[in-house]
Structure 1
Amino acid sequence: MMEERVNLMHMMKLSIKVLLQSALSLGRSLDADHAPLQQFFVVMEHCLKHGLKVKKSFIGQNKSFFGPLELVEKLCPEASDIATSVRNLPELKTAVGRGRAWLYLALMQKKLADYLKVLIDNKQLLSEFYEPEALMMEEEGMVIVGLLVGLNVLDANLCLKGEDLDSQVGVIDFSLYIKDVQDLDGGKEQERITDVLDQKNYVEELNRHLSCTVGDLQTKIDGLEKTNSKLQEELSAATDRICSLQEEQQHLREQNELIREKSEKSVEITKQDTKVELETYKQTRQGLDEMYNDVWKQLKEEKKARLELEKELELQIGMKTEMEIAMKLLEKDTHEKQDTLVALRQQLEEVKAINLQMFHKVQNAESSLQQKNEAITSFQEKTNQVMSSMKQMEERSSSDVSSSEWRTWCIYAMKFYSAVKRKDHCCTWKLGLISKIC
């Protein structure tokens, strides 16, 4: 790790030196196609990646130097424009491309050294992204920041649109830094001249920074002078206000003295009045005590009367409840009696109907009985006639009729006679019997 730090620092020195030399020959304005500028960004990327911690995710391992560069936005508010413009570029899809775009914009603003110095000054924040032996965590990082100050003399015109920053391969081209010995010996004077020019440019850059700071200080001084004049005006107004307040205070003191004298007089008068009022109060207090005793006695009597009335009221309420209960019972009895009366009326109507039916049946029975009696009388007459005819027939046919026939005829006659006595009215049987007898 130490050897890598030393090698990267030497490569950074060489790349910055070659970049400054080529820029002086081209008039200090560089484009994105300039080879030393491209190699500078490659070496810068290797320096920022040195000792970078690997972050594991679901997709895989991620090792990008854009994470530490995002801290500059929090530490230095001036870098917020760079961060927002980098995030808004639609063609950048990886963190490596965003980091390269951030380096381009910082170099164009000529504040790359300032932003990296802010990062190195806050190493407790960088410890989340770098190992303890990384280049940005050691002294070499501060040396590289000092070397980057010389790049403020350059004017870089870099266009990010159309650049494929995501898929660029960062390979260091050592051919730019390898020279022949003759070129080295012959170019010592040229190197001295370039060193002097670099020093001149560095001094001019410092002078520009100092002029900017002087301008800022001058504006601050002008602002302070304006605020001082305003404060002086406010001070004069405040002194005038203080004087007026003092006069008002003196006037208020005089008024306070007058009020105090008046209040003392009024206090003496009130004391005399209070004495008189106290005497009258004592006199009225005695009368009020007597009235209070009388009222207390009346109150006791009224309480007793009230208790008696409450007792009577309770009795009346009890009697009222009993009356209500009795009324409810009477209502129930009346309803039951009404129900029984209705039932009895129904039964009476049924009995009347039954009596009418019995009466009709009795009339029918009497009429049928009369008919039966008439039939019996007619039958008796007929039987008498039959008996008489039988006697006559016995007398006539005693010699002609055999004993068996006589017996059958007698049996039929007896059955007929018994049937008539039983009041049997089967007409068919009677007619058959009569026909047999005949």
Structure 2
Amino acid sequence: MDLRALHKRHVLTPWVAQRPLDPPLVVRGEGVWLWDAEGRRYLDLSAGLVAVNLGHGHPRLSRAIAEQAATLAYAAPSLFHDKRALLAKALSDLAPWPEGARVFFTPSGAEANEDAIKFARHLTGRFKVLAAYRSFHGATHGAAALTGENRRWPAEPAIPGVVHFFAPYPYRSPFYTEDPKEEAKRALEHLERVLLHEDPKRVAAIFLEPVVGSNGVIVYPAGYLEGVREICDRHGILLVFDEVMTGFGRVGAALAAERLGVVPDLITFAKGVTSAYVPLGGVLVREGLARAFDETPLPTGHTYTGHPLAVAAGLAALEAYREEGLFERARRLEPFFLEALRPLLDHPWVGEVRGLGAFYGVELVRDKETKEPLSPWHAPFSPPMQALLKALFGEGVYVLAKHNVLIVAPPLTIREEEFLEGVERLSRALRRVEVEVG
């Protein structure tokens, strides 16, 4: 049976035209490696979709899922469940609030962001929600409304009440400056201006990825997140951090809120909470807000809220992160990662390498002076970008790409020699396509 042909005939792959698709058919994973049906292996340099933080085939998670499946594979959300309680307590302990937190579990990060909108509107009695243009918060209708980039468009007309603003992007400043300090200042002034025109007393929440994820791994300049926090406090607006990508060791701490020193009011999470072994997301709500639901019914719910297999996987994942020191490992290795990636700047197509922890963006340009993107922001991949992605598979490496940016975010368990090998494979693919395409 030709499984590749079967997959192409019957499976719809997200976000891309189906006819040109020709990726490997992967059948096995171990550590940072994937194997296809022909036995060829690929270094997973992006942890899947920046999700498989513990690498593939981690024995602790495999055992936990199997044991839970044999014990109790489903329990209605209205019932209490042992692993739900333990994971919620463990996540509350990670939260940045001294008062603690409560957790609402969801099947995914998109639904976590949907539910965070509901919570914010319910808790404040306000309707409007602000989010950045260069952002992705999920593909469901409400999460797509939050999303600022072109993946929002198929969901339009989206839910009402969502307003977008420009956040800092130092490499391509929307505020016409090359000074990071000035970039933060002008971005905050812009946000204040948007609020003025929307009436801050009508704004329930501001949603932000504390480090921009699939839209380029953009680290905000110093002072920006602190300024957003101050604006929210001044106007009684809730600050929501979307930590679906940045959580669970990705930026060198359990949560980006901890690493960056800015405390939001709600945190959405997914991906790394189970190392993507089982779908699970959720909303961390600080205790002072969560008490509002003690006497008032919670305004949302899902069939798979706190699914037993998922929470068992999450509990095992948190144990593995702690025992293996993986929350802190990326921060410790950050100088090594940056030094290993720096030679990529010698390539004519590499305009910038940026990031922190184990989360980096390699921005590709046609011209370093003009910064013209190698692939346009609002359209399918350009022919040079398509050629590069094919060359990467040819070199035996998988790298997530979005627009004109390659996202280098390996499993947190990657060894230094494996990372160097992955970067060398990436460099070879770039050299080959740069020569072929010109």
More strand by share: 2
Using CA pairs below 8 Å that are at least 6 residues apart, which structure has the higher relative contact order? 2
More helix by share: 1
Shorter chain as normaliser: what TM range? Answer: under 0.3
TM-score by length of 1: 0.23
TM-score by length of 2: 0.23
